[in-house]
Amino acid sequence: MIREVALLDVYYLVLAIRWTIALTLLALVGGGVIGLLVAAFGASRQLPMRLLARTYVGVVQGIPLLAWLFIFYFGLSIVGYNLPPLVAATIGFSVYSGAFLGEIWRGALVAIPKTQWEAGVSIGLTYVEQLRHVIVPQAVRIAIPPTVGFLVQLIKNTSLAAVIGFVELTREGQLTTAATFQPFLVYLLVAALYFSLCYPLTRYSRILEGRHRAVR
C-alpha cells in the first residue's frame, strides 16, 4: 500500500547513515593498508617492486568498482564462498581504494625533492628509515587534500553497495521509495544527508591544508 513519507521514514534514512559511515571506515582502513604498500613499492628504487605496484594500480583502476563488488559477492558464491554483503563490500572497496590511495600517496612521496632522499642516504638511513623520518612527514602535507577528496568520493561510492543488498543510505532510500512512491522527496533527503557528510570533510581538508602551509 502506497503511503506518505512520514517522520519514521526520515528517521530510518538518518539511521542508515551509520552503515554508510561504517563501510567507508572499513574501506579506508583496508584500502589504507593496501595503499601504503602500493605507495612504498611504487616509490621504491627496485624495478620489480615498481612494476608490481603499477600492475596492481593498472588492473584495479581499469575495472569499475561495481564489477569488483560483483566479483566478491556473486563471483565467489559460484565457487562456494558466500560472503555477507558487508564483508563483500568491504573487500571490494578496500581493493579499489588501495589502488587510488596508493597512487595519491606515491605521488606525494615522489614529489619530495631528490635532495631529501640523498640527505637520508648520506647519514646512513635505510629506505624504510628514510620514509619514516624524512620523506613521509613532508609528504603528508601534499597528500592530505587529495586523500580527503578521495574520501568524499568513497562516501558517495558506498551507494553502489546497494546493488548487492547492503542496506546503507541509498538502499534505505530505495526501500522508502518503494513504500511511498515519492522518489523526488526521498532522494532529495538522501542527497541532503550525503551532503551533510561530505561538505564538512571538504571544509576540514581546506583548513588542514591552510595550517600546513602556515607551518611550512
pLDDT mean over 172-199: 94
What pLDDT score was predicted for residue 54?
95
Cell of 10: 526520515
Residues 6 or more apart from 168 whose CB is under 8 A from it? 16, 19, 20, 23, 158, 159, 161, 162
Distance CA 45, CA 48 (A): 9
* pLDDT > 80? residue 189: yes
Cell of 209: 591544508
Distance CA 90, CA 25 (A): 9
pLDDT for 49-77, tens place per residue?
Answer: 999 999 999 999 999 999 999 999 999 98
* Upper half-sphere CA count for residue 49 (Cβ side, 13 Å): 11
Least confident of 99-103, 135-139, 151-155: 135-139
pLDDT mean over 177-198: 94
pLDDT confidence of 80, banded at 50, 70, 90? confident
pLDDT mean over 1-22: 89
Query: What is the CATH architecture of 7-215?
Result: Orthogonal Bundle (1.10)
What pLDDT score was predicted for residue 214?
53
Under 8 Å between Cβ of 14 and 189: no
Under 8 Å between Cβ of 136 and 43: no
**Closest listed residue to residue 119, CA positions, set 134, 103, 138, 100:** 134
The amino acid sitting at 82 is: N
Cell of 185: 522527496
The number of residues making up the chain comes to: 216
Judge residue 79's burial from the number of C-beta atoms within 10 Å of its C-beta, 0-12 exposed, 13-18 middle, 19 or more buried.
exposed
Distance of CA 91 to the CA centre of its chain: 12
Three-state SS for 135-173 is HHHHHHHHHHHHHHHHHHHHHHHHHHHHHHCCCCHHHHH
Under 8 Å between Cβ of 99 and 57: yes
pLDDT for 37-51, tens place per residue?
Answer: 999 899 888 899 999
What pLDDT score was predicted for residue 149?
86
Domain boundaries, the chain: 7-215
